Structure 1
Amino acid sequence: MPSKLQSAFPALCLFGVLTLLLCPSGLCDCKMFPSVAHGFHKDVSSFFSFTTAVQYKCNEGYVLVGQSKITCRNSRWSASAPECKALCQKPEIKNGDLTVPKHQYVEPENVTVRCDDGYDVVGSPNLTCSGNGMWLPAVPKCQWVEQMGCEQVLKGKKLLECLPSPEDVKMALEVYKLSVEIERLDKSSA
C-alpha cells in the first residue's frame, strides 16, 4: 500500500491479512459505556469487530425500556442507553377494580380505581406506579354506602353471609316474610 494511503487509513495486519480500521485508536472513545440505574451492562463486542457492543439487563423488579443491545462505531452509540423502570403489581381492591386491569404496571403508569355499584372510593382514586415499585398515593378502599330505603336489602345481604346453603336462606326469607305480615296485621288491628 502506498505510504500516502497508509497515513490516511491506519491498518492492522492480522494473520497476514490487511484490515482497514474505520476508527483509529485515540479517536474513538467507546470504552465509557452508558450506565443505567437499577440495571447493569456487559461488553459483548466481538474480538475481530471494530464495533463496541453493550448488552443491558435490569435488576429484579425492573423491566427494560429501550434497546437491550447498543453498539458504538466511529465514536457514536447506535441509540441512547435503555432505562430500567420499576414494576408495580396489580393492587388488591375488594369490591372494585382498576380502569386498566393488568397483572403488572411499569413506572410511571397511571390508573384509576373504580368501585362496584353501591361502593364509594375512600382515598384517592388516582394511582401512579412509582420508581420503587409502590403505588402512590396509598391504594384506596371501596366502602359500602348504605342507601336510604335499602334496609331490607341490607338485612338480606347479612342473612346471605350467615347461612351456609340456599335452602337455609329460602327458609329464613319465608320466616322473615311471615314476621313482616304479622307485624302489619298487628298494626292494622290496633
Structure 2
Amino acid sequence: MATNLSCIFPALHLFGVLVLLLCPSCLCDCDMFPSIAHGSYEDVSPIFSFTTVVQYKCDEGYVLVGEEKITCRNSHWSSLVPQCKAMCLKPEIKDGTVSLDKNQYVESETVTVHCDSGYSVVGSPSISCSENRTWYPEVPKCEWVGTEDCEIVLKGQKLIQCISSPQDSKAFLELHKLSLEIEKLE
C-alpha cells in the first residue's frame, strides 16, 4: 500500500506526511510575489506556517508608501502592494519660500513658490516632485520688481546704519516720515 500512495502523492513520498499537512495547496498558493518598481522584496515567511510574508524595501532616493510587509493567507494578500516613490530635495529659492517647508518631498507632492516682498515669481509658481526625482516644471526664480517707494526705504536703511544710538534712529525715522508726508502734499 505504501508504494501505491507514493505514486499517487509524490510529495508524500519525498517530504513525508508533515509537509503535505502543514501547507495544503489550497492554502499556500501565493507563489507569485508582487514586485515593485524602484525596490525589491524578500520572502520572510515563518517556517512551518500557513502564511506567506513578503517584506519590501526601496532603492536609495525612494521612500516606501504602504505596508512594509504583506501577508498571503487563504490565497489573499493582506493589503495592497506598497510603492516606492521618488524623493525630491527642497527647492532652493533665493528671495522666496515654498508653501510646505520640508527637507524632502515625495513624488507627486506639489508646492507653491512665494516670493519675498518686492519680488515676483518668474516661471510657474506651482511645482511637483516628479518620478525622476526632479521638480516639474522647473523651479521658478524670484525677480526684483521693487517700486520707487521701496528704493527710498532701502536708501533710508543705509542712512540708519550710520546712526549709532536707538534714540537718534527713532528721531531720524520720524523726520524721514514727515518729509515723505510733505512731499505727498506738494
Per the TM superposition, whether the score is higher than 0.5 is yes
Find the aligned partners of 2:149 and 2:47 in 1 and give their Cα distance. 80
**Equivalent-residue separation in structure 2 for 1:117 and 1:25 (angstroms):** 69
CA-to-aligned-CA distance 1:141-160 (integer Å, 9 cap, x gap): 11111203444335567x69
**C-alpha displacement of 1:48:** 1.2
1:9-50 Cα offsets, whole Å, 9 max, x none, are x99437xxxx944x5226742111001000000011122112
Residue deviations 1:82-123 (CA, integer Å, cap 9, x gap): 000011110111111111111111111111000111111011
Task: State the partner residue of 2:31.
Answer: 31
State the distance in 1 between where 2:93 and 2:58 align.
Answer: 29
Name stretches of at least 5 consecutive residues in structure 2 with no aligned partner: 1-11, 165-171, 173-186
Runs of 4+ in 1 over 2 A off after TM superposition: 10-14, 25-29, 148-157
> Equivalent residue for 1:163?
none
Unaligned runs of 5+ in 1: 1-9, 161-165, 175-190
State, as a whole percentage, how many aligned pairs show the same letter: 61
The structure whose residues are more often helix, as a share, is 2
Q: Measure, in 2, the Cα distance between the counterparts of 1:42 and 1:82.
A: 13
- Could you tell me which residue of structure 1 aligns to residue 42 of structure 2? 42
Distance 1:27 1:13, change over 3 A: closer
- Please name the residue that 1:104 is paired with: 104
2:18 is equivalent to residue 13 of structure 1: yes
Q: How far did 1:73 drift?
A: 1.5
In 1, Cα distance between the equivalents of 2:47 and 2:54?
13
Which residue is equivalent to 2:143? 143
TM-score normalized by the length of structure 1: 0.70
- Tell me the CA shift for residue 58 of structure 1: 0.2
2:59 maps to which residue?
A: 59
CA deviation after TM superposition for structure 1 residue 132, in Å: 1.1
Q: For this pair of structures, how many residues does the alignment match? A: 152
* CA–CA separation in structure 2 for the residues paired with 1:102 and 1:146: 29
Partner of residue 73, structure 2: 73
> Any idea what the Cα deviations from partners look like across 1:119-140, whole Å, max 9, x if unmatched?
1101100001101111000001
Partner Cα separation in structure 2 for residue 92 and residue 143 of structure 1 = 14
C-alpha distance in 2, partners of 1:75/1:101?
Answer: 43
Secondary structure of 1:153 counterpart:
helix
- What root-mean-square deviation, in Å, do the aligned CA atoms of Structure 1 and Structure 2 show? 2.8
Amino acid paired to 2:37: A
